[in-house]
Structure 1
Amino acid sequence: MNAIVTPKTDHDATFMRMKKDYMGNDQLLPGYNIQLGVCDEYIAVFDVKQYASDMECFKPLIEKFNQIYEKYPEYPVADAGYGSFNNYLYCEEHGMKKYMKFTMYEKESKDKKYRDDPYRAVNFPIDADGDPICPNGKKFHYLYSRPVRGNKYGRTEEFYQCEDCSNCLQKEKCCKCKGNRKIRLNEELTKFHKEVLCNLNSIHGALLRMNRSIQSEGANGIIKWNRSYTRARRRGSKALNLEIAMICCGFNLHKFHLKKPAMKKAA
């Protein structure tokens, strides 16, 4: 469901940029980030968080799923808001397949010119010493590594600099810097992105993406627009957890009621 608006007197709420208000403008409003995990058209797990970013909500939701069902989902499919190094590594640790899009997924998949650009650092070939080689045949030498700020899994970025960019006929296409070009790489994250692209662009991945858009977005649409639930009635995260739990129970009961005739025919 993403963000849901709450009363301004709710001290547990976090100010978030809501997509649209009743005047058609984006606004900062107090709210919560509501997460729903949908399986076979039913809401299998939900969570109420005070994080504005979806990336921070992925791990708590999956841990809650594991606590309820005593297993991790094999195919956690999610949109680009959840694709991060931390979440990919978390999936790797718990035996889950990586089917969460990352920020540049659409451009990587559909924009061939961008994806195959020879001047992108991730497309540079690597020599026997492990150093990138630019399209002009110049080697990039390792400078230093720097930890990514705020990353809980110890992610680092490696910085490289070209040995000589002077008199390079391809420099205008390659970079706009005055001296030798510097690049930064994260080999592990690049490897994850390639794996995600391979997974999501396969036939199985396409079916999972289609299934997610129907089930997950469908559940959100039914609750928010068909049932007009766009504003919380209770204050405080504990009370809102109870409220969302009742809404999810009502959604699942109604879904089961609609499926009963089909179940009788199948029997």
Structure 2
Amino acid sequence: MNAIHSLARTLLLGALLCAAPALAQEAPAPTARGLTEIPDSELGLMRGRFVAGDNQVLWFGVSMISSWQTSSGQLLQGRLDIGFDFSDGQPVLSFSPNVVLTDEHAPMPVPSGQRSVESAGLQNVAGLVQGVQVAGDGNAASNVTSLSLRDGEAPGAGTPAGLSQGSLDRHSGPASARVQFDRNGAGVKLEVAGHGTAEQWIRSGSLGQSIRLLSDGQAVRNQLHLDMVRQSLPATAMLNQNVAQALVTTRGIGGP
């Protein structure tokens, strides 16, 4: 259960922090005479103490879909669906991997000339990352990311995973497809040796999509969909929460 909690926190925090737009820093406004500015460290401790939300996360799901149609007609597809059901208080994990990898209909032509792309730097980027690098002609490549926030009921529960990690691999000639998840994150990766790689990942502090092609006539698409369902707390639960919060904020008042 600790591993599931860790994976839930990694995916949920990674998705929300990475999908949030960056805010430009503003110059600090001058303080009025006789006033003392509260340091950021103290504000950080105070943040959130005086505001009570009226909803809770009921469901959080991640869907990663990567597809690749090669110039020779071979189809590669990897799909990973992970869901966290919080309706009972403890996250219940469901995991559904799927890989499609057809046989080669004809050998792919070897790319002419010396081609290369360099994407190692993407591994060091925090936040939301999308990259397309192409060293070829007649290719089609796209990355799509969406985040859905809604109120309502949790989707129909999938089959509980009963484990904290898993993977599914397929190989056919130079082509391979892999979907995997563990307590540190989740990802989908398609690769054709000598022709390129397409992958998606979500981990603590980073959410990304990358396509790297060294060939001609390839069609590659990455799709990453994040779905969060919220549910309002009952009135009694809200009252209990507000009372508990009021007790916490009044500690030390009237003391010596």
Q: Normalising by the residue count of structure 1, what TM-score does the alignment of the two structures yield?
A: 0.22
Larger % of strand: which?
2
- The one of the two structures with greater contact order (alpha-carbon pairs below 8 A, sep at least 6) is 2
Larger % of helix: which?
1
Q: Normalising by the residue count of structure 2, what TM-score does the alignment of the two structures yield?
A: 0.23
